[in-house]
Amino acid sequence: MDIVEVEWIDAATVAHEVMLEEAQKQTGMKAQTVGYLVSDNKERVVLAATLFPEASDARMLNIIPKCMIKKIKKLGKV
């Protein structure tokens, strides 16, 4: 299984009041996530923080839509 770093643009929520001009300038936040590559298909990448190989179990999943991903870098293999 590959260990990867995914660089992606996360969605953002602004809960306080802002002027429309300021709202039009808002962008997502750059994020970098490292994990075990559980799944990679045309719609999404799924990373796990923890694996339990004997039980075929994964925990602490990050599910990242492909449209938000900028780059995937392979770090190693286990």
Which structural domain range is residue 70 located in? Answer: 2-77
Query: Looking up tokens 């770090």, which residue turns up?
Result: 75
pTM, full prediction: 0.85
List C-alpha distances in Å: 15 to 20, 25, 26. 14, 15, 12
Q: Give the CATH number for residue 52.
A: 2.30.30
35 φ, ψ to 5°?
-175, 180
Find out whether 78 and 3 touch, Cβ atoms under 8 Å: yes
Q: What is the domain count for the chain?
A: 1
pLDDT in tens, the chain (78 residues): 999 999 999 998 888 999 999 989 888 899 999 999 999 999 999 999 999 989 989 999 999 999 999 999 999 998
